[in-house]
Chains A and B, each alone.
Chain A
């Protein structure tokens, strides 16, 4: 029964493309005003990029992969690889990185749970930020001047080796107020 529901849902949402694609990414492509990640000369939107859920298909050569270093909430460094055109959220999902609660709205710019913090020089390389991304960032925990949403950052070769820090979630002012009251 569950399988039926799932298949039905995915079929419904996949207006164009493989029914195995994640619903979120299909929705993203339908939402106006979203940032489109584009590769130089290729104009490929990372959020609409077709992807097989199975990890066995890896048509790209290993050397075309982009290495990303994540610093998780415990301060540990986790190195992952992604393909150009994928978003940083894609990398977290595809590599099964265990950042609890990361990407709650599945990359549709409706939450701020894929919030990542960068060094200033890296931040400058990430490209322009849309108003809609800024709107969501404004609600993020531990917002900094070099914060971005992982779902809006498209991997390119020039980002090879960058470090992205997952902010500590337990920094909400309202919660500390609650405890003291």
Chain B
């Protein structure tokens, strides 16, 4: 299989990534070569693997992923209308097809194989499994029908198998999104985007059907602090501002005093705030006014508000509104704190999506975990007090940042690991069995991994189904079906 991979890729993929090891197939599968295992097949895992195989010509890397399909949040997190961001999958594919890198999907680390068993087979284990938990609001009514975490909502429209049965009720007019980060804006944008745009993306068909029938016309995006503290980035804000058929609906008084503070802000925050002010306060030109009049939908930020309670409908079956505490800001700038004034207000809505952050979960008792910060305690990617364990991505530094953040962070961890190999901090003197050792365990336990070429069969099938609908891809939603296609 390695030969087959190596043959075609050299001339076709000469950019970004020179597969140095491919040249000499003799370097492949050396008994004494350093073996590294990566837990999690998302961007952190792939970028860590990329840097390892590229920098050190003898290292062998295996990526283990719980699902049969690779790429993690690039597949299941990045919004369907952001196909450009998904171009990173091309680079990940090259990494996976590198002679010294292998992908093993459908393997649950912590269940099918323990981290300790991985450590017995590999010289180093890198934990890159991301943040699959979400922060709860911790308010009464959170469990009512019509209240979703953004993580589940995003998972639903992006085809995450565990969220396929979410089927959110979109029959209301107003939706409230709690949180003002990029995920919150993704959710708002998907709720309000013209179906003609969405139908050309890889949004799942059930989600597309639901959104086409949606009655949601107004999305309010609520944050506990003020306009100077919004967590979204400017690209996502600009998309909201330019969203066809949708006008901004802000509360002008919430922007009091903001214009005066612009001058002292660093460039990114300044440009973001200027755009925000333009959408909120500025009187639009004639042409823009014409467009706004015809827009039937609206979106808006609501600042200085924290959820207190999700209010039930008269029959107590589902959400009918949300009670918000009114805050004031203590302090200035990025570090300003929200403090409750004691005042509350109710907001009517039929859908609540809480987008107040993801969080990492502990995977295995042998891996140290900081349950206050929800990360693996580490120094530059070295897991504290655990020789041979490393971490990268969200589980290392918390669930923030764009893909380039994770890329740099993963390269850093790879550098640390390579440094430790070079300096003898990490013992690579004894031979380890690598994937062969793990394969034997998995076989004994009746677990059959999905290889990268198996995934490519899924990829072909999804692309084929997408073509029939004029979409780049129609994702398989069921793990059983994925496995069936993979092993067909």
Pick from A96, A108, A138, A141: contact of B234, CB under 8 Å: A138
Q: What are 9 residue pairs bridging A and B, where the CB atoms are less than 8 Å apart in the complex?
A: A2-B97, A12-B463, A27-B84, A53-B14, A101-B411, A104-B87, A104-B407, A139-B404, A178-B378
Known: A5-B459, A138-B268, A169-B411. 20 other contacts (CB 8 A): A1-B453, A1-B456, A2-B8, A8-B460, A8-B463, A27-B84, A93-B15, A101-B411, A103-B15, A106-B90, A110-B82, A111-B88, A111-B402, A111-B404, A131-B238, A138-B272, A139-B404, A172-B405, A175-B397, A175-B409
Chain B residues whose CB sits within 8 angstroms of the CB of A141 once the complex forms: 404, 408
CB-CB nearest in chain A for B467: A12
**Per-residue interface assignment for chain B, residues 262 to 275, with 1 indicating a CB less than 8 Å from any chain A CB and 0 otherwise:** 00000110011000
CA distance A98 to B50 in the complex (A): 13
Across the interface, A178 reaches (CB within 8 A) one of B16, B267, B396, namely B396
B445 within 8 A of A: no
Say yes or no: is B140 at the interface (Cβ < 8 Å to chain A).
Answer: no
Which chain B residues border A62 with CB–CB below 8 Å?
none
Contact A113:B404 (CB < 8 A) given known A1-B457, A170-B412 = yes
Report yes or no: A105 in contact with B400, Cβ–Cβ below 8 A: no
What are the interface flags for B107-123 relative to A under an 8 Å C-beta threshold, 1 for contact and 0 otherwise? 00000000000000000
Residues B400 and A174 in contact, CB atoms below 8 Å apart? yes
Q: What is the interface size of chain B, counting residues whose CB is below 8 A from a CB of the partner?
A: 56
Contact indicator B460/A138 (Cβ below 8 Å)? no
Question: What number of residue pairs across chains A and B have CB atoms under 8 A from each other?
Answer: 133
Chain B residues in 8 Å Cβ range of A131:
238
A143 CB within 8 Å of chain B: yes
**Contact between B408 and A93, CB atoms less than 8 A apart:** no
Min CB distance B400 to A, Å, is 7
A105 contact set on B, CB distance < 8 A = 84-85, 87-88
- Give A21-60 interface residues, CB cut-off 8 Å to B: 22-24, 27-28, 31, 53-55
The majority secondary structure among interface residues of chain A is loop
Which A-chain residue is minimally distant from B397 (CB atoms)? A178
Q: State whether B460 touches A23 (Cβ < 8 A).
A: no
Give residues 82-140 of A contacting B (CB, 8 Å): 93-94, 96, 98, 100-106, 108-113, 131-132, 134-136, 138-140
Residues B60-88 near A (CB distance < 8 A)? 82-85, 87-88
Give B contacts to A, CB under 8 Å.
4-5, 8-9, 11-12, 14-16, 18, 47, 50-51, 54, 82-85, 87-88, 90-91, 97, 233-235, 238, 267-268, 271-272, 373, 378-380, 396-397, 400-405, 407-409, 411-412, 453, 456-457, 459-460, 463, 467, 472
For B85, what are the chain A residues with a Cβ–Cβ distance below 8 Å? 105, 110-111
- CB-defined contacts of A113 to chain B, threshold 8 Å: 404, 407
**Set of chain B residues within 8 Å of A139, measured between Cβ atoms:** 233, 268, 402, 404
With A and B bound together, what is the CA distance between A40 and B91 in angstroms? 34
Nearest to A110 among chain B residues (CB) is B84
A8 to B8, CA, bound (A): 15
Residues of B within 8 A of A2 (CB): 4-5, 8-9, 97, 453, 456
Residue of A nearest to B459 (CB): A5
> What is the CA–CA distance of A9 and B54 in the complex, to the nearest angstrom?
25
* Alpha-carbon separation in the docked complex, A105 to B78 (Å): 13
Chain A residues closer than 8 Å to B268, beta-carbon distance? 138-139, 143
A residues less than 8 Å from B233 (CB atoms)? 135, 138-139
For chain A, residues 1 to 27, give those with C-beta under 8 angstroms from any C-beta of chain B: 1-6, 8-9, 12, 22-24, 27
With contacts A105-B84, A136-B235 known, is A174 near B272, CB below 8 A? no
Return the chain A residue nearest B55 by Cβ: A100
Contact yes or no, A170 B408, CB < 8 A: yes
Q: Contact at B404–A174, with CB atoms within 8 Å?
A: no
